[in-house]
Chains A and B, each alone.
Chain A
Protein backbone atom coordinates (compact mmCIF):
# COMPACT_ATOMS: atom_id res chain seq x y z
CA UNK A 1 0.00 0.00 0.00
CA UNK A 2 1.42 3.36 -0.88
CA UNK A 3 0.71 6.00 1.66
CA UNK A 4 -0.30 8.59 -0.81
CA UNK A 5 -3.11 10.73 0.34
CA UNK A 6 -6.00 11.75 -1.83
CA UNK A 7 -6.12 15.41 -2.61
CA UNK A 8 -8.33 17.51 -4.80
CA UNK A 9 -6.95 19.28 -7.85
CA UNK A 10 -7.91 22.60 -9.38
CA UNK A 11 -10.72 20.96 -11.32
CA UNK A 12 -12.20 19.46 -8.19
CA UNK A 13 -11.13 15.89 -9.09
CA UNK A 14 -9.76 13.50 -6.51
CA UNK A 15 -6.13 12.77 -7.35
CA UNK A 16 -3.30 10.78 -5.80
CA UNK A 17 0.44 10.46 -6.29
CA UNK A 18 1.70 13.98 -5.75
CA UNK A 19 5.43 13.81 -5.06
CA UNK A 20 5.62 10.05 -5.54
CA UNK A 21 8.53 9.25 -7.84
CA UNK A 22 8.96 6.28 -10.17
CA UNK A 23 11.21 3.57 -8.85
CA UNK A 24 14.14 2.91 -11.11
CA UNK A 25 15.89 -0.28 -10.13
CA UNK A 26 19.44 -0.40 -11.43
CA UNK A 27 22.26 -2.83 -10.94
CA UNK A 28 25.43 -1.56 -9.33
CA UNK A 29 28.52 -3.74 -9.07
CA UNK A 30 26.35 -6.82 -9.05
CA UNK A 31 23.54 -5.93 -6.67
CA UNK A 32 20.36 -3.92 -7.12
CA UNK A 33 19.47 -0.56 -5.70
CA UNK A 34 16.04 0.98 -5.96
CA UNK A 35 17.22 4.43 -6.83
CA UNK A 36 20.31 5.95 -8.38
CA UNK A 37 20.18 8.56 -5.59
CA UNK A 38 22.18 6.13 -3.49
CA UNK A 39 24.95 5.65 -6.06
CA UNK A 40 28.27 7.39 -5.47
CA UNK A 41 29.28 10.03 -7.98
CA UNK A 42 31.49 7.74 -10.04
CA UNK A 43 28.80 5.11 -10.47
CA UNK A 44 26.20 7.76 -11.28
CA UNK A 45 28.46 9.00 -14.05
CA UNK A 46 28.87 5.47 -15.34
CA UNK A 47 25.13 4.81 -15.39
CA UNK A 48 24.62 8.01 -17.38
CA UNK A 49 27.14 6.76 -19.94
CA UNK A 50 25.66 3.29 -20.39
CA UNK A 51 24.57 2.61 -23.96
CA UNK A 52 22.28 -0.21 -24.93
CA UNK A 53 23.66 -3.18 -26.82
CA UNK A 54 21.95 -4.19 -30.01
CA UNK A 55 21.01 -7.80 -30.60
CA UNK A 56 22.24 -7.91 -34.18
CA UNK A 57 24.81 -10.60 -34.85
Chain B
Protein backbone atom coordinates (compact mmCIF):
# COMPACT_ATOMS: atom_id res chain seq x y z
CA UNK B 1 0.00 0.00 0.00
CA UNK B 2 1.52 3.33 -0.96
CA UNK B 3 2.46 5.90 1.64
CA UNK B 4 0.60 9.21 1.47
CA UNK B 5 3.94 10.92 1.79
CA UNK B 6 7.58 9.92 1.62
CA UNK B 7 10.03 12.52 2.90
CA UNK B 8 13.64 12.19 1.86
CA UNK B 9 15.77 13.71 4.62
CA UNK B 10 15.09 14.03 8.33
CA UNK B 11 16.61 17.43 9.06
CA UNK B 12 14.47 20.30 10.38
CA UNK B 13 12.67 20.58 7.05
CA UNK B 14 12.03 16.88 6.61
CA UNK B 15 11.13 15.85 10.13
CA UNK B 16 8.83 18.80 10.72
CA UNK B 17 7.11 18.16 7.38
CA UNK B 18 6.62 14.53 8.35
CA UNK B 19 5.14 15.40 11.74
CA UNK B 20 2.75 18.01 10.29
CA UNK B 21 1.65 15.59 7.60
CA UNK B 22 1.03 12.92 10.20
CA UNK B 23 -0.98 15.40 12.28
CA UNK B 24 -3.11 15.98 9.19
CA UNK B 25 -3.81 12.27 8.89
CA UNK B 26 -1.25 11.14 6.34
CA UNK B 27 0.71 7.91 6.42
CA UNK B 28 4.31 9.06 6.29
CA UNK B 29 7.69 7.44 5.67
CA UNK B 30 10.95 9.32 6.24
CA UNK B 31 14.10 8.16 4.47
CA UNK B 32 17.38 9.21 6.08
CA UNK B 33 20.78 8.30 4.70
CA UNK B 34 22.66 8.94 7.94
CA UNK B 35 22.63 6.63 10.91
CA UNK B 36 20.96 9.25 13.07
CA UNK B 37 17.93 11.40 12.41
CA UNK B 38 18.01 15.18 12.43
CA UNK B 39 20.13 16.02 9.40
CA UNK B 40 22.90 18.57 9.38
CA UNK B 41 21.21 20.79 11.95
CA UNK B 42 21.01 18.30 14.77
CA UNK B 43 24.15 16.34 14.07
CA UNK B 44 26.81 18.65 12.64
CA UNK B 45 25.23 22.07 12.49
CA UNK B 46 22.99 24.27 14.59
CA UNK B 47 22.75 22.07 17.65
CA UNK B 48 26.34 21.02 18.31
CA UNK B 49 27.65 24.50 17.47
CA UNK B 50 25.28 26.04 20.00
CA UNK B 51 26.46 23.59 22.62
CA UNK B 52 30.07 24.55 22.05
CA UNK B 53 29.23 28.24 21.90
CA UNK B 54 27.50 27.93 25.24
CA UNK B 55 30.27 25.98 26.94
CA UNK B 56 33.10 28.05 25.50
CA UNK B 57 31.30 31.26 26.47
CA UNK B 58 30.98 30.13 30.05
CA UNK B 59 34.62 29.06 30.03
CA UNK B 60 35.60 32.58 29.06
CA UNK B 61 33.14 34.19 31.46
CA UNK B 62 34.53 32.26 34.41
CA UNK B 63 38.04 33.24 33.46
CA UNK B 64 37.36 36.93 32.85
CA UNK B 65 34.13 38.09 34.37
CA UNK B 66 33.70 36.49 37.73
CA UNK B 67 36.41 38.30 39.66
CA UNK B 68 34.86 41.78 39.32
CA UNK B 69 31.64 40.30 40.66
CA UNK B 70 33.41 39.27 43.80
CA UNK B 71 33.44 35.62 42.86
CA UNK B 72 36.94 34.30 43.23
CA UNK B 73 37.79 31.27 41.19
CA UNK B 74 41.06 29.97 39.98
CA UNK B 75 41.78 29.95 36.29
CA UNK B 76 39.55 27.29 34.74
CA UNK B 77 41.07 24.23 33.14
CA UNK B 78 39.73 22.92 29.87
CA UNK B 79 38.87 19.25 29.44
CA UNK B 80 38.09 19.38 25.75
CA UNK B 81 37.12 15.73 25.53
CA UNK B 82 34.60 16.25 28.27
CA UNK B 83 33.29 19.36 26.50
CA UNK B 84 32.86 17.36 23.33
CA UNK B 85 31.06 14.73 25.30
CA UNK B 86 28.73 17.39 26.71
CA UNK B 87 28.06 18.51 23.17
CA UNK B 88 27.41 14.98 22.01
CA UNK B 89 25.01 14.36 24.89
CA UNK B 90 23.02 17.33 23.68
CA UNK B 91 23.05 16.10 20.11
CA UNK B 92 22.07 12.60 21.13
CA UNK B 93 19.24 13.93 23.25
CA UNK B 94 17.87 15.93 20.35
CA UNK B 95 18.21 13.08 17.92
CA UNK B 96 16.42 10.77 20.33
CA UNK B 97 13.79 13.44 20.60
CA UNK B 98 13.11 13.31 16.88
CA UNK B 99 12.90 9.54 17.01
CA UNK B 100 10.42 9.87 19.85
CA UNK B 101 8.32 12.34 17.89
CA UNK B 102 8.25 9.98 14.94
CA UNK B 103 7.03 7.19 17.16
CA UNK B 104 4.44 9.42 18.78
CA UNK B 105 3.10 10.49 15.39
CA UNK B 106 3.35 6.99 13.90
CA UNK B 107 5.85 8.07 11.31
CA UNK B 108 7.99 5.34 9.84
CA UNK B 109 11.67 5.95 9.31
CA UNK B 110 13.99 3.98 7.12
CA UNK B 111 17.75 4.36 7.01
CA UNK B 112 19.29 4.44 3.56
CA UNK B 113 19.82 6.67 0.55
CA UNK B 114 16.57 7.64 -1.09
CA UNK B 115 16.44 7.66 -4.87
CA UNK B 116 13.38 8.68 -6.80
CA UNK B 117 13.10 5.77 -9.20
CA UNK B 118 9.96 7.15 -10.85
CA UNK B 119 7.31 9.66 -9.88
CA UNK B 120 5.59 8.04 -6.87
CA UNK B 121 8.39 5.51 -6.30
CA UNK B 122 11.32 5.85 -3.92
CA UNK B 123 14.08 3.30 -3.80
CA UNK B 124 15.82 3.08 -0.44
CA UNK B 125 19.33 1.60 -0.62
CA UNK B 126 21.45 0.69 2.36
CA UNK B 127 25.24 0.44 2.55
CA UNK B 128 25.16 -3.35 2.43
CA UNK B 129 23.80 -3.19 -1.10
CA UNK B 130 20.21 -4.05 -0.28
CA UNK B 131 17.46 -1.90 -1.64
CA UNK B 132 13.73 -1.67 -1.37
CA UNK B 133 11.23 0.36 -3.36
CA UNK B 134 8.30 2.07 -1.71
CA UNK B 135 5.34 3.74 -3.31
CA UNK B 136 4.30 7.25 -2.45
CA UNK B 137 1.37 9.46 -3.33
CA UNK B 138 3.67 12.41 -2.79
CA UNK B 139 7.40 12.82 -2.30
CA UNK B 140 9.03 15.72 -0.48
CA UNK B 141 12.73 16.20 -1.08
CA UNK B 142 14.33 17.63 2.05
CA UNK B 143 17.92 16.63 1.48
CA UNK B 144 19.32 19.94 2.62
CA UNK B 145 22.79 21.17 1.84
CA UNK B 146 26.45 20.32 2.11
CA UNK B 147 29.59 22.30 2.75
CA UNK B 148 30.72 24.48 -0.15
CA UNK B 149 34.25 23.77 -1.19
CA UNK B 150 37.01 25.95 -2.59
CA UNK B 151 38.51 24.78 -5.82
CA UNK B 152 41.89 23.17 -5.31
CA UNK B 153 41.61 22.99 -1.53
CA UNK B 154 40.92 19.54 -0.21
CA UNK B 155 39.11 19.17 3.08
CA UNK B 156 40.61 16.35 5.14
CA UNK B 157 38.81 17.17 8.40
CA UNK B 158 42.13 16.92 10.24
CA UNK B 159 43.93 20.14 9.40
CA UNK B 160 41.78 21.45 6.60
CA UNK B 161 38.32 21.42 8.09
CA UNK B 162 34.74 21.98 7.21
CA UNK B 163 32.31 22.95 9.94
CA UNK B 164 31.80 19.25 10.64
CA UNK B 165 35.46 18.74 11.56
CA UNK B 166 35.61 22.07 13.38
CA UNK B 167 32.97 20.81 15.78
CA UNK B 168 35.04 17.84 16.88
CA UNK B 169 38.68 18.80 17.08
CA UNK B 170 40.72 16.63 19.44
CA UNK B 171 42.64 19.60 20.76
CA UNK B 172 42.51 23.37 20.67
CA UNK B 173 44.52 24.58 17.68
CA UNK B 174 47.20 27.14 18.41
CA UNK B 175 46.51 29.07 15.28
CA UNK B 176 43.19 28.72 13.46
CA UNK B 177 42.76 30.28 10.03
CA UNK B 178 39.15 30.69 9.00
CA UNK B 179 38.21 31.18 5.38
CA UNK B 180 34.92 33.04 5.19
CA UNK B 181 33.51 35.62 7.61
CA UNK B 182 29.94 34.41 7.46
CA UNK B 183 27.86 33.08 10.31
CA UNK B 184 29.50 29.68 10.52
CA UNK B 185 33.06 31.01 10.34
CA UNK B 186 32.47 33.60 13.03
CA UNK B 187 30.61 31.26 15.37
CA UNK B 188 33.17 28.49 15.20
CA UNK B 189 35.97 31.05 15.25
CA UNK B 190 34.51 32.41 18.48
CA UNK B 191 34.39 28.94 20.04
CA UNK B 192 38.06 28.18 19.45
CA UNK B 193 39.24 31.68 20.26
CA UNK B 194 37.58 31.44 23.66
CA UNK B 195 39.21 28.07 24.22
CA UNK B 196 42.64 29.51 23.50
CA UNK B 197 43.23 29.56 19.76
CA UNK B 198 44.59 32.52 17.89
CA UNK B 199 41.99 33.11 15.25
CA UNK B 200 42.36 34.93 11.96
CA UNK B 201 39.53 35.25 9.48
CA UNK B 202 40.06 35.81 5.75
CA UNK B 203 37.05 37.13 3.83
CA UNK B 204 36.58 37.70 0.11
CA UNK B 205 34.24 40.69 0.47
CA UNK B 206 35.14 43.99 2.07
CA UNK B 207 32.87 43.29 5.01
CA UNK B 208 31.91 40.46 7.32
CA UNK B 209 28.47 38.79 7.55
CA UNK B 210 27.21 39.41 4.00
CA UNK B 211 23.51 40.16 3.88
CA UNK B 212 23.38 41.58 7.41
CA UNK B 213 22.77 45.31 7.79
CA UNK B 214 26.06 47.12 7.16
CA UNK B 215 26.09 49.11 10.38
CA UNK B 216 25.42 45.97 12.42
CA UNK B 217 28.16 44.06 10.62
CA UNK B 218 30.68 46.83 11.22
CA UNK B 219 29.82 46.97 14.90
CA UNK B 220 30.10 43.19 15.09
CA UNK B 221 33.50 43.26 13.51
CA UNK B 222 34.70 45.86 16.01
CA UNK B 223 33.49 43.78 18.92
CA UNK B 224 34.99 40.56 17.59
CA UNK B 225 38.31 42.30 16.97
CA UNK B 226 38.15 43.64 20.49
CA UNK B 227 37.74 40.07 21.65
CA UNK B 228 40.93 39.12 19.83
CA UNK B 229 39.75 37.87 16.43
CA UNK B 230 41.67 39.35 13.53
CA UNK B 231 40.24 39.95 10.07
CA UNK B 232 41.75 40.12 6.64
CA UNK B 233 39.01 41.44 4.35
CA UNK B 234 38.86 41.72 0.58
CA UNK B 235 41.16 38.75 0.37
CA UNK B 236 40.97 35.29 -1.06
CA UNK B 237 42.73 32.05 -0.28
CA UNK B 238 44.09 30.49 -3.43
CA UNK B 239 45.86 27.45 -2.03
CA UNK B 240 46.63 25.65 1.18
CA UNK B 241 49.82 23.69 1.52
CA UNK B 242 49.50 20.81 3.91
CA UNK B 243 52.82 19.06 3.42
CA UNK B 244 54.67 21.30 5.83
CA UNK B 245 54.44 21.16 9.63
CA UNK B 246 52.38 24.33 9.71
CA UNK B 247 49.71 24.90 7.12
CA UNK B 248 50.70 27.55 4.64
CA UNK B 249 47.81 29.39 3.02
CA UNK B 250 48.30 31.57 -0.04
CA UNK B 251 46.32 34.78 0.29
CA UNK B 252 45.90 37.53 -2.24
CA UNK B 253 43.59 40.52 -2.66
CA UNK B 254 40.16 39.53 -3.99
CA UNK B 255 40.70 41.45 -7.18
CA UNK B 256 44.08 39.82 -7.69
CA UNK B 257 47.55 40.97 -6.82
CA UNK B 258 50.52 40.17 -4.67
CA UNK B 259 50.14 36.94 -2.75
CA UNK B 260 51.29 36.44 0.80
CA UNK B 261 51.53 33.40 3.00
CA UNK B 262 49.59 32.94 6.22
CA UNK B 263 50.62 30.19 8.59
CA UNK B 264 48.24 28.29 10.77
CA UNK B 265 47.88 24.95 12.46
CA UNK B 266 44.36 24.30 11.34
CA UNK B 267 42.17 25.98 8.77
CA UNK B 268 38.40 26.00 8.53
CA UNK B 269 36.80 26.44 5.12
CA UNK B 270 33.51 28.21 5.80
CA UNK B 271 32.54 29.76 2.50
CA UNK B 272 28.92 28.72 2.46
CA UNK B 273 26.76 25.73 1.69
CA UNK B 274 25.39 24.22 -1.47
CA UNK B 275 22.23 22.19 -2.11
CA UNK B 276 22.69 18.46 -1.72
CA UNK B 277 21.00 16.25 -4.33
CA UNK B 278 23.38 13.26 -4.55
CA UNK B 279 21.81 9.94 -5.34
CA UNK B 280 18.29 11.36 -5.66
CA UNK B 281 18.03 10.33 -9.29
CA UNK B 282 16.70 13.77 -10.25
CA UNK B 283 18.11 13.66 -13.77
CA UNK B 284 16.50 10.34 -14.65
CA UNK B 285 13.10 11.33 -13.27
CA UNK B 286 13.36 14.77 -14.88
CA UNK B 287 13.26 17.12 -11.89
CA UNK B 288 14.73 20.47 -12.93
CA UNK B 289 17.38 22.39 -11.02
CA UNK B 290 18.64 25.93 -11.51
CA UNK B 291 22.17 27.05 -12.27
CA UNK B 292 23.02 26.99 -8.55
CA UNK B 293 21.99 23.34 -8.31
CA UNK B 294 18.85 24.23 -6.37
CA UNK B 295 15.67 22.31 -7.14
CA UNK B 296 13.19 24.58 -8.90
CA UNK B 297 9.78 24.76 -7.25
CA UNK B 298 6.65 26.85 -7.73
CA UNK B 299 4.68 28.71 -5.09
CA UNK B 300 3.39 25.39 -3.74
CA UNK B 301 6.83 23.82 -3.43
CA UNK B 302 6.03 21.55 -6.35
CA UNK B 303 8.81 20.61 -8.75
CA UNK B 304 8.16 20.26 -12.43
CA UNK B 305 7.32 16.58 -11.91
CA UNK B 306 3.86 15.93 -10.58
CA UNK B 307 3.82 14.58 -7.05
CA UNK B 308 7.40 15.60 -6.25
CA UNK B 309 8.01 18.54 -3.93
CA UNK B 310 11.08 20.10 -2.37
CA UNK B 311 11.80 22.31 0.65
CA UNK B 312 14.61 23.70 2.77
CA UNK B 313 18.24 24.22 1.84
CA UNK B 314 17.81 22.24 -1.38
CA UNK B 315 15.61 25.00 -2.86
CA UNK B 316 16.17 28.74 -3.10
CA UNK B 317 15.87 31.08 -0.16
CA UNK B 318 17.79 31.66 3.06
CA UNK B 319 19.54 28.51 4.22
CA UNK B 320 18.07 28.50 7.69
CA UNK B 321 16.65 25.63 9.69
CA UNK B 322 13.51 27.54 10.65
CA UNK B 323 12.88 28.49 7.03
CA UNK B 324 12.98 24.78 6.18
CA UNK B 325 10.62 24.07 9.08
CA UNK B 326 8.10 26.64 7.87
CA UNK B 327 8.25 25.18 4.39
CA UNK B 328 7.87 21.68 5.77
CA UNK B 329 4.66 22.71 7.51
CA UNK B 330 3.43 24.60 4.46
CA UNK B 331 3.93 21.75 2.03
CA UNK B 332 2.30 19.25 4.39
CA UNK B 333 -0.71 21.55 4.66
CA UNK B 334 -0.81 22.07 0.90
CA UNK B 335 -0.78 18.32 0.39
CA UNK B 336 -3.70 18.07 2.78
CA UNK B 337 -5.66 20.54 0.67
CA UNK B 338 -5.12 23.49 2.99
CA UNK B 339 -3.63 26.88 2.26
CA UNK B 340 -0.06 26.33 3.44
CA UNK B 341 1.93 29.52 3.39
CA UNK B 342 5.34 30.90 4.40
CA UNK B 343 5.85 34.59 5.09
CA UNK B 344 9.34 35.17 3.75
CA UNK B 345 9.31 38.78 4.89
CA UNK B 346 9.47 37.76 8.52
CA UNK B 347 12.20 35.17 8.84
CA UNK B 348 14.67 36.01 11.59
CA UNK B 349 18.36 35.46 11.14
CA UNK B 350 20.61 34.88 14.16
CA UNK B 351 24.37 34.86 14.60
CA UNK B 352 25.26 33.15 17.87
CA UNK B 353 28.50 34.95 18.57
CA UNK B 354 28.79 36.99 21.74
CA UNK B 355 27.02 39.33 21.74
CA UNK B 356 24.46 37.62 19.58
CA UNK B 357 23.14 39.32 16.47
CA UNK B 358 19.54 38.81 15.44
CA UNK B 359 17.76 40.51 12.60
CA UNK B 360 14.34 40.25 11.00
CA UNK B 361 13.08 42.17 8.01
CA UNK B 362 15.02 44.67 5.86
CA UNK B 363 18.41 46.20 6.31
CA UNK B 364 19.06 49.87 5.60
CA UNK B 365 20.87 48.87 2.42
CA UNK B 366 17.89 46.88 1.20
CA UNK B 367 15.46 49.72 1.92
CA UNK B 368 17.68 52.22 0.15
CA UNK B 369 18.02 49.93 -2.85
CA UNK B 370 14.25 49.54 -2.98
CA UNK B 371 13.78 53.30 -2.70
CA UNK B 372 11.66 53.05 0.44
CA UNK B 373 11.92 56.09 2.74
CA UNK B 374 12.38 54.98 6.33
CA UNK B 375 12.93 56.30 9.83
CA UNK B 376 15.49 54.90 12.24
CA UNK B 377 15.12 54.29 15.95
CA UNK B 378 18.33 53.25 17.68
CA UNK B 379 18.96 52.41 21.30
CA UNK B 380 22.27 51.30 22.84
CA UNK B 381 22.34 48.69 25.58
CA UNK B 382 24.66 50.95 27.51
CA UNK B 383 21.47 52.86 28.32
CA UNK B 384 19.42 49.78 29.23
CA UNK B 385 19.16 49.44 33.02
CA UNK B 386 19.36 45.66 33.04
CA UNK B 387 22.35 45.51 30.71
CA UNK B 388 24.00 48.23 32.77
CA UNK B 389 23.54 46.52 36.08
CA UNK B 390 24.78 43.21 34.72
CA UNK B 391 27.67 45.06 33.12
CA UNK B 392 26.95 43.55 29.73
CA UNK B 393 26.44 46.71 27.75
CA UNK B 394 27.66 45.87 24.28
CA UNK B 395 25.26 46.14 21.41
CA UNK B 396 22.19 48.12 20.34
CA UNK B 397 18.74 47.80 18.87
CA UNK B 398 17.93 49.40 15.56
CA UNK B 399 14.36 49.58 14.27
CA UNK B 400 13.61 50.69 10.73
CA UNK B 401 10.08 51.94 10.12
CA UNK B 402 8.28 53.16 7.04
CA UNK B 403 8.61 56.94 6.93
CA UNK B 404 5.02 57.36 5.75
CA UNK B 405 3.02 55.03 7.92
CA UNK B 406 5.36 53.89 10.70
CA UNK B 407 5.15 50.22 9.76
CA UNK B 408 8.10 48.25 11.13
CA UNK B 409 10.22 47.15 8.17
CA UNK B 410 13.30 45.77 9.93
CA UNK B 411 14.58 45.12 13.42
CA UNK B 412 18.26 44.60 14.18
CA UNK B 413 19.41 43.54 17.62
CA UNK B 414 22.91 43.02 18.93
CA UNK B 415 23.18 41.92 22.54
CA UNK B 416 23.74 38.92 24.77
CA UNK B 417 20.21 37.64 24.24
CA UNK B 418 19.43 38.90 20.75
CA UNK B 419 18.40 35.50 19.41
CA UNK B 420 15.57 35.25 21.92
CA UNK B 421 14.63 38.90 21.73
CA UNK B 422 14.08 38.90 18.01
CA UNK B 423 10.99 36.73 18.46
CA UNK B 424 9.07 39.77 19.71
CA UNK B 425 10.08 41.71 16.64
CA UNK B 426 9.07 38.89 14.31
CA UNK B 427 5.70 38.63 16.05
CA UNK B 428 5.12 42.35 15.72
CA UNK B 429 6.06 42.37 12.06
CA UNK B 430 3.89 39.36 11.33
CA UNK B 431 0.93 41.43 12.49
CA UNK B 432 1.94 44.48 10.51
CA UNK B 433 2.82 46.45 13.62
CA UNK B 434 3.86 50.06 13.53
CA UNK B 435 6.84 51.16 15.61
CA UNK B 436 4.30 52.94 17.77
CA UNK B 437 2.60 49.60 18.53
CA UNK B 438 5.82 48.17 19.93
CA UNK B 439 6.42 51.39 21.83
CA UNK B 440 2.95 51.20 23.37
CA UNK B 441 3.25 47.57 24.44
CA UNK B 442 4.20 47.17 28.05
CA UNK B 443 7.61 45.54 28.48
CA UNK B 444 8.68 44.21 31.84
CA UNK B 445 11.29 46.16 33.78
CA UNK B 446 14.15 45.59 34.14
CA UNK B 447 14.71 43.44 31.06
CA UNK B 448 16.72 43.62 27.89
CA UNK B 449 13.62 43.74 25.61
CA UNK B 450 12.91 47.18 27.04
CA UNK B 451 15.62 48.29 24.63
CA UNK B 452 13.37 47.20 21.79
CA UNK B 453 10.58 49.34 23.20
CA UNK B 454 12.95 52.30 23.55
CA UNK B 455 14.23 51.86 20.02
CA UNK B 456 10.59 51.95 18.86
CA UNK B 457 10.14 55.20 20.80
CA UNK B 458 13.32 56.47 19.22
CA UNK B 459 11.75 56.02 15.77
CA UNK B 460 9.46 58.85 16.81
CA UNK B 461 12.40 60.67 18.48
CA UNK B 462 10.84 60.27 21.91
CA UNK B 463 12.88 57.64 23.71
CA UNK B 464 12.50 58.07 27.43
CA UNK B 465 15.67 56.45 28.74
CA UNK B 466 18.15 58.04 26.42
- Answer whether A and B are interacting partners: no
B residues sitting closer than 8 Å to A (CB atoms) are none
Measuring CB to CB, which residues of chain A are less than 8 angstroms from any residue of chain B? none
